[in-house]
Amino acid sequence: MATIGKQIINIESIDSTMSYVKNNLINSDKNEGIIVSCISQTDGRGQLNNFWESEAGKNITISFFIKPKDFIDISDQFKISVLVAVSVYDFIKMHVNKNVSIKWPNDVYYENKKIAGILIEHSIELNKLESTLIGIGININQEIFKSDAPNPISLKSITNQTYNLETLIIQLADILNKNMFVLKTNYQILKDIYLKNLFHKNTFHKYIYKNNNILAKITDINNYGHLILETEEGTVISCDMNEIKHIVE
């Protein structure tokens, strides 16, 4: 397994770091772990093909790929989401010591506002996870958000400090590598951290489930990464991203 961040490619302007890795790096195993970072990303993507706003030179926008087939079964691919979400959570916690949580499946929140997003794409060959492309966007020094995203926030908005992005990317890579070792040796540690810090876990909140408004609490995630909810009436629901929307107030 290659070290994440063994090399960092910095690009001035690009449509998206995910596209760059997919088009230029992912076909060669020797490129595993190379981080692609950019100053200006013109077509960054979030979950469900939403646009990811990032002011030039203000934020972390990186992508890389890993080859997980030797240590992750295809049925356990959500473990990689847990790995990356917990790593970004740990990174934010280094700078903000409270009110940080992981919003299922893999956003990171400060209070009720989104500070980071993660995008993961798997390539499957012969029933194995041949490669996994990972994109991470973290709001760092941006203070004004112009898109219609409902609740963005940045590290600078929380701490009133300005950060060196290159230093932070190295810091994040170190955390990813440390947690990769944990994933391989004792995944339950990462899952416990993920569940303990899950946004709105074990408290009732509003959701839209299959176009119906419900009041429910998060109780768990299953091995496939499906969210497990329990309604006020005691009904247990297992759902994926296409079935449920979390109402953040």
- What's the pLDDT tens digit per position in 173-199? 999 999 999 999 999 999 999 999 999
Under DSSP, is residue 43 helix (H, G, I), strand (E, B) or coil? coil
Quick check: 52 pLDDT over 80? no
Cα-based distances in Å from 218 to 106, 189, 244, 245, 246: 15, 19, 12, 13, 11
CATH number 1.10.510.10 given to 8-196: no
Residue extents of the structural domains in the chain: 8-196, 205-246
Task: Return the pLDDT at 148.
Answer: 67
Q: Which of 72, 54, 71 is nearest to 63 (CA)?
A: 54
Residues above pLDDT 70, as percent of the chain: 94
pTM of structure: 0.94
Quick check: 245 pLDDT over 60? yes
Strand (E) or helix (H) holding 203 = none
> pLDDT band at residue 48, thresholds of 50, 70 and 90?
very low
Least confident span in 152-156, 179-183, 244-248: 244-248
CATH of domain 205-246: 2.30.30
Task: Return the pLDDT at 142.
Answer: 93
